[in-house]
Structure 1
Amino acid sequence: MRLHPLFTVAGLLSLALLSACSRPEPAAEPVRAVRTTVIAPATAGGRVEYAAEVRARTESRLSFRVGGKITRRAVDLGDTVKAGQLLAQLDPQDLRLGEAAAQAAVRAAQVNYDLAAADLKRYRELKAQGFISGAELERRETAMQAAQAQLEQARAQAGVQVNQRAYTTLVADVPGVITSVDAEPGSVVAAGTPVLRLAHDGPRDVVFSVPEDRLNGVRALMDQAGAIQVTLWGEENKPLPATVREVAAAADPVTRTFQVKADVGRAPVRLGQTATASIALPRVEGVAKLPLSAVFESQGRSSVWVVDPSSMTVNAQPVQVGGAEGKEVVIVGGVQPGQRVVTAGVHVLTAGQKVSLYAERAAAAPAPAAAASAR
């Protein structure tokens, strides 16, 4: 019996539709080969290092006590200065005129005082002879006292003007080194505007910053001699012992770290020299150490993949990280000794995924080659 062509086409279309509706079999999830390690009790300690800078114990921002135009700067950046040495000069012309006016006021007050004193002497003689009343003599005495007060006021004002003119010269109060120049000749500065920065001769500090989680440990080292070891960059000298002298009470608003100053006394260091401040960490027993590659973040927590030996599947286990020691992470909680933890390939794993140990696969790989050679 021969089928009509229309029936043949309809049958083919039905078969095509049925095949399109059927779903393909899902691909089997591959078994991942992972590197692992077995958790074993360990001891954590070591040292933590911070980049530091050598600074003077005392550093002053020098400025003029009066305003004016800078006409001269006698020192440059890095110069060593002595106490009393001239550093900078202002134009003193206006202050000289003020001093001259104050001296003239003193002379005028002196003349008035001399006249009042002479009048009082004459009026006392007239009172003794009975030519004037006691009230008139009291008025003369009051006038002489007022003239004396005006003379004292003029002298004090003249002294102020003398001091103001002397303030046009900026001198070093103590010996030290110029570490900053903030104004140049020709600049007009107000009173108190920083012009130079002077690092005083004397003890030196090593300054560095620590994060908040290390703050309590550093504060515990306060006043302990040699608690910090300082190594100068670019030099092969032995580490210098340093003592924590000061810890900032508030964090830096930008870096959110706390500044620490460690005293190195009069060690042979240079201002601004870069150094490494090393602090020994206390030894902690019963922790676990894992490679950095073993830890990942899951739901905002540090976690590791723990291998179930019975089913050879992995499950995420949150852990508590206590810090880092070299290229290893110190785990202080979350895992137990004897557990097998994945140390490589953590980024491609999912919860419940089957895995195989990389070392076992590597050991089984040469078997086919050996069988081929036996043939």
Structure 2
Amino acid sequence: MFRHALPLALPVSLLVLLAACGNGEPVQPSVRPAMVVQPQPAGEVVDTYPGEVRARLEQELAFRIGGKVAKRLVEVGQRVQKDQPLAELDPQDVRLQLEAMRAQVAAAAANLQLVRAERDRYRTLLDRQMASRSQYDNAENLYRAGEARLKQIKAEFNVANNQAGYSVLRASQAGVVAKRLVEVGNVVAAGQTVFTLAADGEREVLISLPEHAFERFKIGQVVAVELWSQPDQRFPGRIRELSPAADPLSRTFAARVAFSEGKVPAELGQSARVFVPVAGTVPLSVPISALSAENGAPFVWVVDHKDSKLVRTPVRIGAYGEQRVPILEGLNAADWVVAAGVQVLREGQVVRPVDRDNRAVKLVAQE
């Protein structure tokens, strides 16, 4: 009997224990530590924009007539000289047109010779009073029409002759082929870009500026340029050109930065960074790890000095640095900001402030 009663007694005892626990004090959640820092004064703050070294003059080369590309004579990156052939169109149609115009010139010349002889004959007959004045005037008009027709045909022949030369695309000046947009066999229209030529001469850096900061830039503004091949040296420059319209895809504004020095060892296609000083003084900065964002709105967690509760504080930030980010608005120097683990915090959470060495931090009230 004892053996049958034991299984029944165990659940009853468990219920008694659970009831006893329920009648006790509620379990208090543990207060988690949070590493906090105070905003530090920021030094000179600059905006940094990546860019690419480009030629100051970039020409888009195109055929002046349409046709089928028969030859491509250069490759991307190849250096070319002025008037060097770059590509050729199929010349068959152009040559046939030129031959047709040449035949028309010969016909117009023969016709002019005929009407000239007819005019001279009627002049002789008019002197001998063997032809009327109206007959001579008619012959004179035919001669003048034949002469005008020959001039017209010669002009059209010269146009056809020029077009025969347009079947060969030549470099307008010395430079480097930066882009190729056609291949052999493609049919191109007159004026369609075939090559982009980066002309020899000055080099610039092309950067993209965001919409929200575009009004802070102006032509002639002083900047500094750093080449990736020479990271320890900055070259003085200035903004030479600002695009008046944003790119429809990236929604950024293109800007060109010219080097102020005469000779800079910058090669086409090199990566670069452009440093633009921020106008005014940015007093504070926090570690990048302290910054969080929701729906594109940045914020930090500030610890209330009275009860150590977290307060979500929206901020306005500047350009990111390597380790810190400037805070333009939203913080005071006396605030204590959570510097790590911000993604797991919540509004109103109580924390135990500690420093980087895990020592307790005594929060001081703001003055």
Scaled to the shorter chain, the TM-score interval is 0.7 to 0.9
TM-score (norm 2): 0.80
Q: Distance in 2 between matches of 1:26 and 1:350?
A: 22
CA distance in 1, matches of 2:295, 2:61: 54
The answer to whether the 8 Å contact 2:35/2:358 transfers is no
Deviation at 1:104, TM superposition (A): 1.7
Distance 1:322-1:128 versus aligned 2 partners, 3 A rule: same
> Residue 195 and residue 141 in structure 1: after superposition, are their counterparts in 2 closer, same or farther (change >3 A)?
same
Q: Is the 8 A contact 1:43 1:283 kept in 2?
A: no
- Offset of residue 306 of structure 1: 3.1
Listed as ranges, the matches of 1:1-375 within 5 Å are: 26-39=26-39, 42-219=41-218, 222-224=219-221, 227-235=222-230, 238-264=233-259, 267-284=264-281, 287-297=283-293, 301-359=297-355, 362=358
How far apart, CA to CA, are the structure 2 residues paired with 1:324 and 1:354?
A: 29
In 2: Cα distance, 1:150 partner to 1:338 partner: 93
CA distance in 1: counterparts of 2:174 and 2:281, whole angstroms: 48
Sequence identity, in percent? 36
- Quote the Cα distance in structure 1 between the aligned partners of 2:231 and 2:39: 39
Q: How many residues align?
A: 348
Deviations 1:145-199 (A, max 9, x none): 2212211121112112211222222222211122233444455544334433322
Q: Within 2, Cα distance between the matches of 1:269 and 1:44?
A: 29
**CA, structure 1 residues 135+250, in 2 after alignment: closer, same or farther (shift >3 Å)?**
same
* C-alpha distance in 1 between matches for 2:356 and 2:242: 53
Counterparts in 2 of 1:135 and 1:201: CA distance versus 1, 3 Å:
same
Amino acid at match of 1:258: F
Greater gyration radius = 1
- Structure 1 residues 360 and 150: alpha-carbon distance in aligned structure 2, compared to 1, 3 A threshold: closer
Whole-angstrom CA distance in 2 between matches of 1:324 and 1:231: 17
Specify the alignment match of 1:369 in structure 2.
none
What residue ranges of structure 1 are gaps of 5+ in the alignment? 1-8, 365-375
Deviations 1:19-48 (A, max 9, x none): 59x7876432322222223456x3453333
Query: Matches of 2:240 and 2:133 in 1, distance apart?
Result: 72
Give 3-state SS (helix, strand or coil) of 1:326's partner. coil
Deviation at 1:261, TM superposition (A): 0.8
Show structure 2 runs of 5+ residues with no match. Answer: 1-8, 361-367
Contact 2:239/2:255 (8 A) holds in 1: yes
What root-mean-square deviation, in Å, do the aligned CA atoms of Structure 1 and Structure 2 show? 3.5
Give the match's secondary structure for 2:220: coil
State the Cα distance separating 1:200 from its structure 2 match. Answer: 1.3
TM (norm. structure 1) is 0.78
Does structure 2 conserve the Cα–Cα contact (< 8 Å) formed by 1:293 and 1:344?
Answer: yes
> Matched residues in 1 for 2:311 and 2:233: separation?
49
Q: 2:123, 2:100 → 1: CA distance?
A: 35
Q: In structure 2, the residue corresponding to 1:191 is in which secondary structure? A: coil
Q: Is the 8 A contact 1:44 1:330 kept in 2?
A: no
Could you tell me whether the CA contact under 8 Å between 1:314 and 1:353 is conserved in 2? Answer: yes
**Could you tell me how far apart the structure 2 residues matched to 1:50 and 1:164 are?**
46
Q: 1:362 to 1:237 in 2, by over 3 A?
A: closer
Kindly provide the amino acid, as one letter, of the partner of residue 205 in structure 2: V
